[in-house]
Amino acid sequence: MNREQLVEELKQQIIEQLNLQVQPADIVASDPLFNEGLGLDSIDALELIVLMQQKYRIKLANAEDGPKIFQSVDTMADFILANQTPQAG
């Protein structure tokens, strides 16, 4: 999966996981997920951590990394690509 596909997949998964009333096209990958962007909160952050663990088998080693990783869809995609174990096939 290339980065562009991953970004689109993440948008869809974030919408589903958090029950957001938006379309993937409404989410700009570089926009902030929290505060002025999508307006997510700390409960949503926990849901995103669960999503990363379940879907991509990635655990956050340090909770302090969360704000940096979940800054935007782009930063999530970069983190997944950098940390995901390549699957055979």
**Whether pLDDT at 24 is above 90:** yes
Count how many domains the chain has.
1
Q: CATH number of the domain at 66, please.
A: 1.10.1200.10
Q: What is the mean pLDDT of residues 58-78?
A: 91
Q: How confident is the model at residue 87 (pLDDT cuts 50, 70, 90)?
A: low
The percent of residues in the chain predicted with pLDDT above 70, rounded, is 96
89 vs 57 pLDDT, higher one: 57
Q: How confident is the model at residue 37 (pLDDT cuts 50, 70, 90)?
A: confident
Report if residue 88 sits inside a domain: no
Q: Could you tell me the residue range of the domain that residue 21 belongs to?
A: 3-83
pLDDT of residue 89: 45
The CA distance from 36 to 60, in Å, is 24
Q: What is the mean pLDDT of residues 72-80?
A: 96
pLDDT of residue 59: 87
Buried b (16+ CB within 10 A) or exposed e, 51-65: bbeeebebebeeeee
Report if residue 89 sits inside a domain: no
